[in-house]
Amino acid sequence: MFALLMFGCDAAFGQGYVPPKGFVPDEKTAISIARAVLLPVYGARIIHEEEPLTAVKREEFWIVSGTLQCAPNCVGGVAEVRISARDGRVLYMMHGK
């Protein structure tokens, strides 16, 4: 019985199914993932002030960035998150100053 349970666990955590376009197929999904990791770290007030978040696909990952809400001579920065299009892993996250 133990052997069956262990084999089943290995199969469950193996390669598994990966959709043809990956788990993050579009901008909307990338932004949702970015928002989910940004809010607990930087807070709702800061992230909502940077709306809209935008996403651009570069090779095999998405770059999601906040929008700086000021005139052309802005001082400050925005959040940026890089997300693997294939599996949804957060590869990089920061907030500029």
pLDDT of residue 44: 96
pLDDT of residue 73: 76
- Identify whether 76 is part of a domain: yes
Mean pLDDT over 26-43 rounds to: 98
- Identify whether 8 is part of a domain: no
- pLDDT at position 75 over 90: no
Instruction: Categorise residue 66: left if φ over 0, alpha if ψ from -120 to 50, beta otherwise.
Output: beta
Mean pLDDT over 64-87 rounds to: 89
**For the chain, percent of residues with pLDDT exceeding 90:** 70
For residue 91, what are the domain limits? Answer: 20-95
Cα distances from 85 to residues 16, 33, 64, in angstroms, run 16, 11, 12
The total number of structural domains that make up the chain: 1
- Identify whether 9 is part of a domain: no
- Identify whether 66 is part of a domain: yes
Identity of the residue numbered 73: N
- Identify whether 35 is part of a domain: yes
- Identify whether 44 is part of a domain: yes
What's the whole-number average pLDDT of the chain?
87
The DSSP 8-state label assigned to residue 20 in this structure reads T
pTM: predicted TM-score of the whole model, two decimal places: 0.80
- Identify whether 2 is part of a domain: no
Give 2-33 pLDDT, tens digit per residue.
Answer: 444 445 544 556 778 999 999 999 999 999 99
Contact between 90 and 82 (Cβ < 8 Å): yes
- Identify whether 13 is part of a domain: no
